[in-house]
């Protein structure tokens, strides 16, 4: 098929590369000159697992242009994958999508063949029917569903595994204005995915609500696990992992995204929850669970902070290991670790931080109020407490006996994801978040 993709960022370029590597002819368009120049030089401008190798298979079918008319005339479907930033009220802005639609609509007016406009960006429910469709119809003078098609086709991919998730999805969601458009988009995915996903076709509004509610449901699972973890902490002998691992065996629940720990962060989950609440309010209803999911997530940082306050002296250095919102990325947007760092600094603690990839991004957000370390052993030197935050694999494999000698005697070791369970440790007071203490000994109550 002939596809155009407008917006070649973290999701758009991976999408374009997947289609092109599977033999579809793809025209990519981005307003960022750096991205276009790099692609024209056959270089990969985005840091995402497997993208470089996929592009090697895609180059022969992937061209770039800065001309919208060229992109529309030479394709049957246009995917729009531009940002939809959140406003202060939690709603996503359609500004960038509208910019693209204003450029596409006059071309639709001129084009005689049927063309499908496929919005992939995450949008507020109601955007397609109330905003995109009237905009395109008014400017093109054509009728949506008859002369051109409008599709809402969000992706369920996580950063770091965008390509794997894209090629092996559980489902493909297609909201559509008409059957012809959904059939075209379905064929595009059938000929691209490695597996045979469920392909679900529905109205535009239902697809918009489905995308947002899926992310909110997943975060509800995470917050459930974190609430359970906070209860387990108070119960001698209780262990969050033993319980959630077993809960996950029930197919009504499932194991994925049920890990108690630091809570969720990043550029997607937190803002999707806020948008869902704004959407419910706008619809004259209320997302009561959603508000609790966010409150429980915020309280994880408070739990960590309170343990640190209780178990250390203010003049002791606190070493935070892991700053990105999850391992495998340098992104610190809405990172729980960054929140904890700010909370500690504001309370007067001396904070030292380490991360294998996110130090530079963290410095942009935190400034010089903490000390930054490339070497974890230097970060923990003389610390009264070490807090294991983002669960990078390297932390499990550090020489913990050596670290025991570098830190203060009996330093607190607070392990958000319990990665050190079973690891031989030095002289620490070890606390796994979500683990109740079954041995209370005077003077060193948290030793396990
Ligand atoms: N990154 C991800 O894994 C996921 C992203 N999404 C959604 O996809 C959308 C895009 O996200 P990302 O790819 O992460 O954003 P991004 O910021 O990495 O990329 C967006 C790209 O669009 C380009 N752009 C903006 N306005 C344009 C215009 N008028 N014409 C041409 N290009 C334009 C920008 O230059 C940029 O390269 C957002 O709505 C996001 O919520 C949804 C699921 C996963
Ligand atoms: O809509 C989006 O844009 C995307 O948002 C998330 O993707 P992403 O934010 O990249 O990352 P995830 O790997 O899902 O992790 C999100 C957060 O949840 C946390 N998490 C994950 C799993 C878990 O059991 N517990 C938990 O706290 C992680 O630590 C991380 O902070 C979704 O997983 C994607 O399906 C979706 O397409």
The reply to whether ligand 1 has any atom less than 6 angstroms from the CB of 9 is yes
- Find the helix packing angle between 95-110 and 133-140, rounded to 10°: 30
Give CA–CA dist 318/320, Å, rounded.
6
Give CA–CA dist 21/425, Å, rounded.
48
Q: Is 211 annotated as a binding residue?
A: yes
CATH of region 2-202, choose from 3.40.50.720, 2.60.40.1930, 3.20.20.140, 3.90.180.10: 3.40.50.720
Q: What are the residue ranges in the chain where pLDDT is below 70?
A: 438-448
CB atoms within 10 A of CB 220: 18
* Ligand 1 atom closest to the CA of 100, numbered from 1: 29
pLDDT for the residue 437:
72
pLDDT for the residue 408:
87
pLDDT for the residue 117:
98
As a whole number of Å, the CA-based R_g of the chain is 25
Give distance in angstroms: CA of 308 to centre of ligand 2. Answer: 27
Is 213-294 assigned to CATH 2.60.40.150? no
**Three-class SS state of 345:** helix
Which residues of the chain form CATH 3.40.50.720? 2-202, 213-294, 306-432
pLDDT for the residue 438:
56
Nearest listed ligand to the Cα of residue 15: 1
pLDDT for the residue 70:
96
The reply to whether ligand 1 has any atom less than 6 angstroms from the CB of 10 is yes
Task: Quote ipTM for the complex.
Answer: 0.97
Confirm if 124 and 94 have CB atoms less than 8 A apart: yes
pLDDT for the residue 442:
35
Q: Is 395 exposed, middle or buried (0-12, 13-18, 19+ CB in 10 A)?
A: buried
The pairing of beta strand 411-415 with beta strand 148-152: unpaired
Give the residue, out of 18, 45, 66, 82, with the most ligand 1 atoms within 8 A of its beta carbon, to mutate for a pocket test: 82
**Three-class SS state of 251:** coil
Q: 306-432 maps to which CATH number?
A: 3.40.50.720
pLDDT for the residue 446:
44
pLDDT for the residue 422:
79
Residue 252 DSSP symbol: T
Long-range contacts of 415-418 (CB under 8 A, 24+ apart): 415/388, 416/261, 416/262, 416/304, 416/387, 416/388, 416/389, 416/391, 417/259, 417/261, 417/262, 417/388, 417/391, 418/240, 418/241, 418/261
Residue 410 DSSP symbol: T
In DSSP notation, 73-139 reads HT-SEEEE-----B-TTSPBP-HHHHHHHHHHHHHHHH--S-EEEEE-S---TTHIIIIIHHHHHHH
Give CA–CA dist 404/417, Å, rounded.
20
């Amino acid at each position: 098929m002939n596809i155009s993709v407008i917006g070649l960022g973290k999701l758009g370029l991976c999408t374009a590369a997947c289609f092109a590597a599977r033999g579809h002819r793809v025209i990519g368009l981005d307003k960022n000159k750096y991205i276009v120049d790099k692609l024209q030089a056959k270089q990969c401008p985005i840091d995402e697992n497997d993208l470089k190798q996929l592009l090697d298979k895609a180059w022969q079918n992937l061209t770039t242009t800065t001309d919208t008319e060229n992109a529309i005339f030479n394709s049957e479907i246009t995917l729009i994958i531009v940002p939809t930033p959140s406003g202060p009220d939690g709603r996503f802005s359609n500004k960038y999508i509208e910019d693209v639609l204003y450029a596409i609509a006059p071309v639709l007016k001129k084009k005689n063949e049927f063309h499908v406009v496929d919005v992939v960006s995450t949008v507020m429910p109601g955007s397609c029917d109330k905003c995109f469709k009237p905009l395109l119809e008014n400017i093109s003078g054509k009728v949506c569903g008859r002369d051109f098609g409008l599709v809402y086709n969000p992706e369920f991919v996580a950063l770091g595994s965008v390509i794997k998730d894209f090629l092996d999805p559980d489902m493909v969601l297609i909201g559509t204005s008409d059957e012809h458009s959904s059939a075209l988009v379905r064929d595009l995915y059938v000929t691209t995915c490695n597996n045979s996903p469920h392909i679900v076709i529905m109205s535009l509004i239902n697809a918009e609500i489905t995308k947002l509610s899926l992310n909110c449901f997943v975060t509800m699972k995470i917050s459930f696990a974190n609430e359970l973890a906070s209860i387990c902490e108070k119960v001698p002998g209780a262990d969050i992992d033993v319980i959630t691992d077993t809960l996950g065996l029930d197919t009504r629940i499932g194991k994925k995204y049920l890990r108690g720990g630091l809570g969720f962060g990043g550029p997607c989950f937190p803002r999707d929850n806020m948008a869902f609440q704004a959407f419910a309010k706008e619809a004259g209803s209320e997302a009561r669970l959603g508000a609790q999911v966010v409150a429980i997530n915020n309280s994880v940082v408070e739990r960590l902070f309170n343990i640190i306050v209780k178990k250390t002296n203010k003049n002791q250095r606190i070493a935070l290991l892991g700053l990105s919102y999850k391992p495998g990325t340098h992104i610190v947007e809405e990172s729980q670790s960054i929140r904890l760092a700010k909370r500690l600094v504001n309370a007067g603690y001396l904070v030292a931080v380490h991360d294998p990839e996110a130090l530079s991004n963290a410095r942009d957000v935190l400034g010089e109020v903490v000390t930054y370390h490339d070497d974890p052993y230097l970060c923990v030197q003389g610390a009264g407490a070490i807090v294991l935050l983002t669960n990078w694999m390297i932390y499990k494999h550090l020489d913990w006996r050596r670290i025991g000698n570098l830190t203060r005697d009996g330093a607190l070791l607070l392990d958000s994801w319990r990665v050190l369970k079973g690891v031989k440790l030095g002289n620490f007071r070890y606390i796994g978040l979500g683990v109740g203490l079954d041995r209370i000994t005077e003077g060193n109550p948290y030793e396990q």
